[in-house]
A and B are shown apart, each in its own frame.
Chain A
Amino acid sequence: MKLPNFLESNSIQITISASFVIVVLVTVAFLGTSTLVLTREALWDTTTLYSDQLVDRVARSIGVYLQEMEEITGVLLDEVPLRDDGSVDAAELQSTIEQTFATAVRLRSDISLIGVVSPELGTRLHLPEPARNPVANPLDSDWYRQAVEARGAPVYTGARIQNVLQDTYQWVVTVARARGDTVLFVDLTFRTIEELVSSVELGTRGYLFITDRAGSIVYHPQQQLIYSDLFHEPIEQLLQAGTGETVIPVDGEERLYLQHEVAPTGWRVVSVTGVDQLLASQRQVQSYYLAWIAFVFAFVMLLTYALSRRIAQPITRLRRSMQAVEQGRFDVEIPVDRADEIGALSRDFTIMVNTIQDLMRKSAQEQEDKRHAELRALQHQITPHFLYNTLDSIVWMAEGGRTGEVVSMTTNLARLLRLSIGSGDAMVSLRSELDYLRSYLAIQQMRYRDRLTYVVEAEESALDVRLPRLTLQPAVENAIYHGIKQREAGGEVRVECRSHGDHVRVDVSDNGPGMDAETLLATRNGSPGAGNGVGLHNIRQRLALTFGSDYEFHVDSRPGEGTRVRFCIPRRPAA
């Protein structure tokens, strides 16, 4: 996966941390937002449901209360003594008023006044006559007319001033019921309604109010403020909206209104809740979330720091160790002691460093061995003894006047010496090695006269192969020493070089007495005590040091049949 640019950093720790932070922030933002939205909805739903239930309860209570008033007015109306023609028996009415009406007012603290109004009798109250306001005329009032028109059904006024009492002007709700043109009315104080309404709590600033059918306020907790024009309810909009839930902005503030109708009267119980009050509680919830998010955020940040550090720091340490190794300091400590992948990586790295160290040690050892073997081969080659014998032969030939032979021998010796001093290169071509061998064999032939014959055969294609200097000479020397020297009849030494695919095979064989199995085994193992084994062992060692495992070396011998030393080397020596 490709990381966005800004996340690409040259530090794993920063990359991990930044990714974590982004993931955490995005998650927190998403969760936070969705939670807040859901909370808002849930709060809203809960509030409206709660308000709805409250309003419904209050509306029912008021319905029950008004129902009760309907019954009471019904009973009282039955008490009004009506003659058959619909007129009121004034004398009998007076006793009814004094007994029944007065008792009802005494019993019910929410009833302030009971009276009867009719065109013929005027106004009769439950109180004695002088208490009546002589100027007041209920026959002219709206509620009297409405009650007559309602034909016995109860009529409820909104809040109104009752002026039928002398020097008393009280705000009441009047329930009126007619029989013919005689109307019984009962004035209710706000006491019971207020009790019913104020028994419910609607948050800190929510409240209930009641309007009548026409939208006039029947009861409002801030009624005086409304009457003083200092406070308003959007009555028109509420009437239009009908029952149910409405949000209306009032004085720059959104308010949630819930209306329920009080069944028989057309009154409405309305609950009011400030939307900002809802939002205030939402803000509190929001604050809780934010505080919680802050905590989680801080926690995750610290965790991220610790975690990314735990991942990145060992890698950094490992890297420093690798840098040290790069600079050749193999003795570095890798201080990572963990069970996880980084621990494994560190352990592997340690093993690798150790192996490299071993290999380097081995390689150095090999170089050392090679030089040593070369030196020994050289020491083997032209021993003082050989030089003495050769020079002795030359003196002897010179005394015999065999000038040609002296020249030939001296020439060969000179070439031999020159080749053995060589250019200093460890590797030479087979061609030059064979030249050297020929000189050596020529000298030896002169010394052994007719007892030594030799054949050097080489395929042209094999001549360019390169091999360690003085590889062949010890084998030939060995063949002469063991195959010819001890045999009166003399013998033949054969050197054959042939190509074999990408290898070259070199055979050095004699037709001497050969070796028994025991000697052969000792020779093959290169035991130092075997005498002839030393030279052969030296050859094998140098081939191994040069070509690794890509060579062959065999010594074959049968008693009476001679000995053959054979080795195979690759055309392309190991680099």
Chain B
Amino acid sequence: MNREDDRLRRIWFIATAAVAAVFVIIAITGFRDGNRRDDDLEVVVVLKATSPQMEFWQVVRQGIEAAAREYAVSASVVGPWLEHQIDDQIRILRTVIAEEPDGIVLAAADFNRLAPVVEEALARDIAIVTVDSDVDGDRALSFVGTNNVEAGRRAGEVMRGLVGPDATVAVVSHVPEAATAIEREAGAMEALANRGGGLTIGPLYAFNDEQTARRIVIELLEEHGRIDGIVALNETSTVGVARTVEDLGLAGQIRIVGFDASTEEIALLERQVVDALVVQKPFNMGYLSLDVIARAIRGDTVEPRVDTGSEIVFRTNMYEESIQRLIFPLVR
């Protein structure tokens, strides 16, 4: 009898404890759900340029900051002062890798020279995603940015529409080694080929310098006498080329299709010095690159390429609501 009593008692206490435990577990799960928040991920963003004069990169940065708030990721932004300081960027990226953050977002200043550094990061198990400018060999987990071949092709096609079939068109790019340059050149050259006699000059390199761009325009005019159109493949090239054309009083005669949408470029577009701008989405690049790196760190599979898209902006559509949202960053 006593043994049976003991057995009963034990079963009773075990059952009670089990049911109570189930309740407690559900309760704790509920508490945790209610307070769930991801542990802060540490991400370092290495941009091509951090100078506040570089409007494009400032908007990328805004996108990164907005995403960091949204995804509860701590993101610090570093990089060389200006885009052509490739050695600086390599040095900075190495320092970042040594600190072993959870993830790195890189806008590669040089298509080839940064590739081995990306390998170094991957070798140390640091997730790395490229934004705007990729490195050679699809090394990064993902690339977030404009489909630059497509963007270059669209720039070329817009130019084709602006000038006659036998027009002389020059392509002014920024640097020979950056991925953005290589791809846009390819797209633009392809679109401008086979125009029925028209000469396509380039690509010529302005090396992110307005003065170089100015010199290129003047030399082109000296060399060819007449230039009907110039496709400029980044912000500096566009501004350099357009200002020179405006200064020479050739606005409207030399048609210009440029890239990006700095305030100065917008003003040039409004003054009809520039005919069209291929506008990328730097805010989206920044925002989505952080989204992708956060997912990559958490172990989700990420798309190898995220196309942030581009738009063609003319003077006629620049104040349309959707375009104005795109080209004018909201500064508060």
Measured CB to CB, the residues of A under 8 A from B are 11, 13-14, 17, 133, 135-136, 160-161, 163, 166-171, 190-191, 194, 216, 222-230, 280-281, 283-284, 286-288, 290-291, 293-295, 297-298, 301-302, 305, 316, 320
Q: Given known contacts A171-B328, A224-B329, A225-B287, is B24 in contact with A163 (CB within 8 Å)?
A: no
Give Cα A11 to B4, complex, Å.
11
Q: Choose among A135, A161, A166, A297 the residue that contacts B23 (Cβ–Cβ < 8 A).
A: A297
B12-20, B100-108, B120-128, B251-259 - the one binding chain A:
B12-20
Give Cα A74 to B244, complex, Å.
46
B195 within 8 A of A: no
| CB nearest neighbor in B for A222 | B66
Q: Which residues of B contact A225 (CB under 8 A)?
A: 66, 70, 287
Majority secondary structure, A binding face: helix
Whether B267 contacts A167 by the Cβ 8 Å rule is yes
Whether B332 contacts A169 by the Cβ 8 Å rule is no
Q: Which residues of B contact A14 (CB under 8 A)?
A: 8
Could you list some 9 contacts between A and B, CB below 8 A? Answer: A133-B270, A163-B319, A222-B66, A230-B288, A284-B30, A286-B27, A287-B28, A305-B9, A320-B1
Q: Choose among B20, B27, B324, B329 the residue that contacts A160 (Cβ–Cβ < 8 A).
A: B324
What are the interface flags for B299-332 relative to A under an 8 Å C-beta threshold, 1 for contact and 0 otherwise?
A: 0000000000000000000010100111011111
Give Cα A194 to B16, complex, Å.
56
Whether B34 contacts A283 by the Cβ 8 Å rule is yes
Give Cα A558 to B23, complex, Å.
99
What number of B residues sit within 8 Å (CB to CB) of A?
49
B271 within 8 A of A: yes
Q: Given known contacts A161-B328, A167-B267, is B33 in contact with A298 (CB within 8 Å)?
A: no
Give Cα A281 to B283, complex, Å.
34
Q: Choose among B8, B17, B24, B267 the residue that contacts A13 (Cβ–Cβ < 8 A).
A: B8
B284 within 8 A of A: yes
Interface centre among B23, B271, B272, B283 (most CB of A within 10 A): B23
Q: Which residues of A contact B270 (CB under 8 A)?
A: 133, 135-136, 163
B63 within 8 A of A: yes
Give Cα A294 to B21, complex, Å.
7
Whether A294 contacts B12 by the Cβ 8 Å rule is no
Besides the known contacts A163-B270, A286-B30, 4 further A-B residue pairs in the complex with CB atoms under 8 A apart: A135-B270, A224-B63, A284-B30, A284-B31
Q: Choose among A170, A171, A228, A288 the residue that contacts B63 (Cβ–Cβ < 8 A).
A: A228
Give Cα A224 to B34, complex, Å.
29
Q: Which residues of B contact A170 (CB under 8 A)?
A: 331
How far is the CB of A286 from the nearest CB of chain B, in Å? 5
Whether B20 contacts A288 by the Cβ 8 Å rule is no
Whether A135 contacts B271 by the Cβ 8 Å rule is yes
3 A-B pairs with least C-beta separation: A287-B30, A294-B23, A227-B325
Give Cα A225 to B287, complex, Å.
9
B281 within 8 A of A: yes
Give Cα A229 to B28, complex, Å.
38
B98 within 8 A of A: no
Q: Which residues of A contact B22 (CB under 8 A)?
A: 294
Interface residue ranges of B25-56 to A (CB < 8 Å): 26-31, 33-35
B219 within 8 A of A: no
Q: Which residues of B contact A291 (CB under 8 A)?
A: 23-24, 27
Q: Which residues of A contact B267 (CB under 8 A)?
A: 133, 166-167
Whether A281 contacts B284 by the Cβ 8 Å rule is no
How far is the CB of A426 from the nearest CB of chain B, in Å? 47
How far is the CB of B212 from the nearest CB of chain A, in Å? 23
Whether A167 contacts B16 by the Cβ 8 Å rule is no
How far is the CB of B319 from the nearest CB of chain A, in Å? 7
Q: Choose among A171, A297, A298 the residue that contacts B330 (Cβ–Cβ < 8 A).
A: A171
Whether A224 contacts B62 by the Cβ 8 Å rule is yes
Give Cα A418 to B13, complex, Å.
80
Give Cα A163 to B26, complex, Å.
59
B194 within 8 A of A: no
Whether B34 contacts A294 by the Cβ 8 Å rule is no
Q: Choose among B12, B35, B332 the residue that contacts A301 (Cβ–Cβ < 8 A).
A: B12
